[in-house]
Structure 1
């Protein structure tokens, strides 16, 4: 997390004007860091817990206390701009935990301290510079597959470490999911200040940014870190084979013009992502359908839906965003829903970012970091706590747990209020499974759209297509002009359709039985030396932004690559014992989660019912597990 630069000429009136609109829970730890005065962490300055996802700008404090905090903060910030150093620039340990609690008005577990110290820039991860060692091994190189968020972050840290690498991307430009998904209404459903790298902040124009701005952020990362020279775009990786005779990987690629190119690599890092290959259902009559068929993840430029009869298959995140965005353009819209989702209110979904907040980010030290921490707490820790099933729930008169049941009551009340007593729509949209059994969605006008007279929600799937007619599984028939598939991705089939063969020709897809991916820490697997996965099996976080997980994985992988150079290692290969033990514990923990319970259908589980996408660990726990690689977990070989 970067910090502002002092400006000695900054006037008190300017600071006062901005602090009049500052968020008090964010400002209090800033005030302590600047002054070192512990009274700001005690009564009467303790803020109350934030209700829901609200900004909670006043912190629940009386007006006279708010005024006292703001006045003291003005003095401290003016003094900092005049050259006074912060009293506590890098809080750690118990003190940092106290500051976290002061920012959210709730107890915070000690386990968060290492992660938050890193994310807020108090103890940032800095890749070890091994460029001199790399120069002594001219054959040592890394191939990164995929230039989405994970692949680019890996590129940034590999470059900082001085390790030779190339990033291969099948699309014409970097961006991954955010290059491919350009359907109407596409935007993040995690606040942009959290859905971005901790080491590369940005002043976003919206709280939940749209696709184009996110893709622009990706390009800004490429430009800022000089990654263009390492990117090979328009190139698809077809296979990755381990060559036992050389102890290296053979990476076979296909250029846009069809030319095949083979790359030799010491290390391969896959960053293909969880949401990369669209799932296209094989509906009867699809090939003979006389209308237009589009998938949300392959939206054709210039698609015109004005006045057309449209059917949308699916009601997940993409379907919700897309359907609301185009509803007023089409003449008729039929939405086919297999199962409803829980939908949460969020008053900031379409909010423009506040220029004053940007000023505070740019002129008040530590403010951006504490703002980000509060988002992390609200969107990650709070929701994750509702996922475990209380084993004594039934005896307590609960369905899942006290917290999960409370979420259910809250979301149900919101749904009923939005549908104005329309019992038919309430029955169709109210889930029967508990909250967080599927991905929680944010209301973007979904319920309002469903009430429109030209919109029809069917609780059915597609039976077949007949000419320009869609026949649903409930017997309903509609003439349509456009069929929009919001049918998700091949999330359970990690790295599909990439062919990966390790030692003795072992096929990774066969070892994973197609949709049963397993890896140690979600990152590496026995039989596949010098191969690392980003966003691999069981690394989807239980809540919040995946980028926190991505940064933890990249730290682990880049540290291992640096160790290979510093220890003069030829190969590192995960041992079977830690691999088996980790996955045994992981499965036991996942089985305790609400999304693994009977009657809950989601993309998290494979065809055998095993959870293969999600991590059951709290984000801070996973970050601790991946803090640094332990060579005892690996069979290693030295160079000859």
Structure 2
């Protein structure tokens, strides 16, 4: 039994993957030393302090300094070799305690112990504590799960919520609303849950962020197989989360939202959904939550002669798994995130491969991109209570400051438009050096492999050398001349070259700025939301829109992170903010709440001002982060901490409450 006590009901209630007990440590000192030498020290020291109940082992001189990351993560958060050696001795001693005292379980920490451990991991950043407690299973006030029940405050009134979508965002919102007992209906246009991870099944699909940073605070899986999870693993995870949360059987599949109209007199949303066979159903809900995501609507450019092509053409999101691409002549249009995964995955097995590039991608070194979790990690996750949860928290901590310092622009920087600051130029030079090594002997490819825009201005990919290997393959052609037209047998570029192909893959991304595309959302006064936005979607905290009472967005405008933070955290907080809004109006005996225009304008000005300071906000940069109006409407230019603060409570001054 752990000296820290036993499990509490609160912790189990807010982690669908909670584990009561762990395997006993029985290894020899020599074997434990080997484990310690292969472990991530800050996470291990935190886990051992919690398990033994002895936080005095976390001495100030062992604190990880959290050295800013330019391109490659610093081992152990930048701990010096001397710190590492002393940390290993401390960890070894604590592991012996787990073995000798037969500690296999740990309970909820005291507030003091929680703060001590978090202060250690954060190197004294006490302002991060609130956000991190939201993510920590063992915190006494974890805070994500609602501490109220609908029936206790609704006073017998009817109030129903519609959640649109069952992907990562929809599951996050549905779980929190379900925990509070709010009556809800979930609709999903597809035939299975999972959103983008259900749709994207192309060869090589996987995360380009570390797996442990891509999971819910309320579903902290410990036994992930890969350091960057494969698409099938994410699908399995989401399906398991929905099943354990009791959501899977309540989802209406094949039900697409086509129209939602606010009925002012009744204070309800009149919603029309359409099934796969074209049948429509009209219902009324008191609130609607859109969890449709951003990367959902494929972007397929128009090219002359597209209809004349007689081979197979498909977008990466609509990959036809019945198509056998092996031994075929394949064309991939685009060099973004999906192309970066597809091209190396198919390269060795096709007859020929041509990659059509408009602009080259910047790639961050990630030698472990295709690696499984190590044996050491597996051992720790099985034998050190909650080690995997502490490791997940450590990943999130490293992501708080992220690489913001590398993408912030310097006023009057002379290196523009190739870089935005001295630090950004240093990153450019380091990444260029790596590309030069990878394309050694291929100068004709190297000149096209180095991007002509600043690092961080567009989405940066993960690089372990497979992209360069694929492009330098003898049967791969990199086409940089613009596409002129399609022919029955292939593609002709502006330089007159015709590329004969059997299969064309559009790895051309999505239309992320076209929020709520394909839906008609009519708010107060009959105003349609797309007419209100005029191509420039805006929402307060990325969640609420003036004139659309009780309408909430999860993964709405300006909440996407690209160089820092956790997307899951942002989505969870947006869903929790919507739930707080529902509680607020119920407690006030109001029918609805409507965010004020002044609040939205204040929020937008704050976000826009910061985005203009970033690489992606410079006037000479063109990126999908920007909408048709030229405004950066996808990206959150701050850390998770600022979003924690922004969504911590509903400010009544920001809202009009309708009787």
Q: Among 142, 151, 159, which residue is 1:132 paired with?
A: 151
Residue 599 of structure 1, CA deviation: 2.7
Which of 495, 520, 536 is the aligned partner of 2:540?
520
| Residue equivalent to 2:499 | 478
Higher deviation after alignment, 119-128 or 342-351? 119-128
- Of residues 25, 41, 59, the one that matches 1:24 is 41
Q: Tell whether the 8 Å contact from 1:178 to 1:211 is kept in structure 2 after alignment.
A: yes
State the 1:183 CA deviation.
Answer: 0.6
- Which residue is equivalent to 1:166? 185
Cα offset, 1:468, TM superposition: 1.6
Deviates more, 1:70-79 or 1:161-170: 70-79
Gaps of 5+ in 2: 1-13
The alpha-carbon deviation at position 429 of structure 1 amounts to 1.0
Equivalent residue for 1:180?
199
Q: Is this contact kept in 2: 1:606–1:612, CA < 8 A?
A: yes
Residues 89 and 419 of structure 1, relative CA distance in 2, 3 Å threshold: farther
SS in 2 for 1:351: coil
Secondary structure of 1:382's partner? coil
What is the alpha-carbon distance in structure 1 between the residues aligned to residue 63 and residue 525 of structure 2? 64
Q: Residues 158-187 of structure 1: CA distance to partner in whole angstroms, max 9, x if unpaired? A: 110000001110010100000000111100
Residues 248/591 of structure 1: CA separation in 2 closer, same or farther (3 Å cut): same
Matched, 1:265 2:285: yes
Question: Counterpart in 1 of 2:61?
Answer: 43
1:411 is paired with a residue whose SS is: helix
Q: Does 1:545 align with 2:546?
A: no
TM-score by length of structure 1 reads 0.92
The answer to whether structure 1 residue 442 and structure 2 residue 462 are counterparts is yes
Aligned length: 632
SS at match of 1:483: strand
Match of 1:404 in 2: 424
Note the aligned Cα RMSD (angstroms): 2.8
Structure-1 separation of matches of 2:416 and 2:190: 53
Contact 1:6–1:82, Cα closer than 8 Å, also in 2? no
8 Å CA contact 1:470, 1:479 repeated in 2: yes
Paired residue for 1:623, among 634, 644, 650? 644
Aligned-pair CA distance for 1:135: 6.4
**Structure 2: distance between partners of 1:378 and 1:9:** 30
The answer (yes or no) to whether the contact 1:494–1:517 under 8 Å persists in 2 is yes
Q: Do the aligned partners of residues 324 and 526 (structure 1) sit closer, same or farther apart at CA in structure 2, a change above 3 Å counting?
A: same
Counterparts of 1:306-385 in structure 2 under 5 Å?
Answer: 306-385=326-405
Give the Cα–Cα distance (whole angstroms) in 2 for the partners of residues 87 and 184 of structure 1: 43
Shift of 1:157: 0.6
Q: Go from structure 1 to structure 2 and tell me whether the alpha carbon gap of 1:244 and 1:92 turns closer, same or farther (over 3 Å shift).
A: farther
**What is the aligned partner in structure 1 of residue 5 from structure 2?**
none
Q: C-alpha distance in 1, partners of 2:166/2:196?
A: 9
- Which of residues 635, 646, 659 in structure 2 aligns to 1:614? 635
TM-score (structure 2 length as normaliser): 0.89
Conserved 8 A contact 2:332-2:339: yes
Residue-by-residue CA offset, 1:230-288 (whole Å, 9 max, x unaligned):
21111111111111221110111111222111121100000000011111222111122
Identify the residue that residue 189 of structure 1 maps to in structure 2: 208
Seen in structure 2, the aligned counterparts of structure 1 residues 45 and 295 have a Cα distance that, compared at 3 Å, is: closer
Q: Residues 205-226 of structure 1: CA distance to partner in whole angstroms, max 9, x if unpaired?
A: 1111111111010110111011
Residue pair 2:269, 2:286 contacting (<8 A) in 1 also = yes
1:120 corresponds to 2:136: yes
Aligned residue for 2:407, secondary structure, equals coil
Q: Sort the Cα spacing of 1:590 and 1:439 in 2 relative to 1 into closer, same or farther, 3 A.
A: same
Q: Deviations over 1:98-131 (max 9, x none)?
A: 3124xxxxx5644322111211232321213323
1:251 maps to: 271
Cα distance in 2 between the residues matched to 1:330 and 1:83 = 51
> Which string of whole-angstrom CA distances, capped at 9 and with x for unpartnered residues, describes residues 450-487 of structure 1?
10111111223322112223112343321221111011
Structure 1 position 146, deviation (Å): 0.5
Change (3 A) 1:581 1:281: same
Distance 1:248 1:396, change over 3 A: closer
Which deviates more, 615-624 or 60-69? 60-69
Please list, as runs of the form range in 1=range in 2, the aligned pairs for 1:101-112 lying within 5 A after superposition. Answer: 101=122, 107=123, 109-112=125-128
For residues 84 and 53 of structure 1, do their structure 2 counterparts lie closer, same or farther at Cα, with a shift above 3 Å needed?
closer
The DSSP-based 3-state class of the residue aligned with 2:446 is helix
Any idea what SS the aligned residue of 2:366 has?
coil
Distance 1:134 1:511 in 2: 34
Paired position in structure 2 for 1:99: 120
Alpha-carbon displacement from aligned partner over 1:70-118 (angstroms, at most 9, x marks no partner)? 32221443477548978964457974553124xxxxx564432211121
Cα distance in 2 between the residues matched to 1:82 and 1:290:
66
Q: Alpha-carbon deviation of 1:415? A: 0.9
Question: C-alpha offsets along residues 32-73 of structure 1, whole Å, 9 cap, x if unaligned?
Answer: 444545463233676785972365599543585355223222
Instruction: Out of 306-315 and 29-38, give the one that drifted further.
Output: 29-38
Contact 2:257 2:519 in 1 (8 A): yes
- The alignment partner of 1:588 has SS state of helix
Is 1:468–2:481 an aligned residue pair?
no
Of residues 247, 251, 256 in structure 2, which corresponds to 1:231? 251
- How far apart are the structure 2 equivalents of 1:80 and 1:433? 57
Q: Of residues 582, 589, 597 in structure 2, which corresponds to 1:561? A: 582
- Cα distance between partner residues in 2 of 1:420 and 1:395: 26
- Aligned position for 1:204: 224
Cα pair distance change 1:7/1:235, threshold 3 Å: closer
Q: Secondary structure at the match of 1:232?
A: strand
Give how far 1:309 is off: 1.4
Counterpart secondary structure, 1:381: coil
Instruction: Assess if the C-alpha contact under 8 Å between 2:538 and 2:557 holds in 1.
Output: yes
| Aligned residue number for residue 153 of structure 1 | 172
Helix, strand or coil: the match of 1:43?
helix
Task: Report deviation, 1:26.
Answer: 1.8
Describe the shift of the 1:61–1:136 C-alpha distance in structure 2 as closer, same or farther (beyond 3 A): same
Residue 529 of structure 2 is matched in structure 1 by 508
8 Å contact 1:461–1:473 — kept in the other structure? Answer: yes
Aligned residue number for residue 289 of structure 1? 309
Provide the secondary structure at the position in 1 that maps to 2:201.
coil
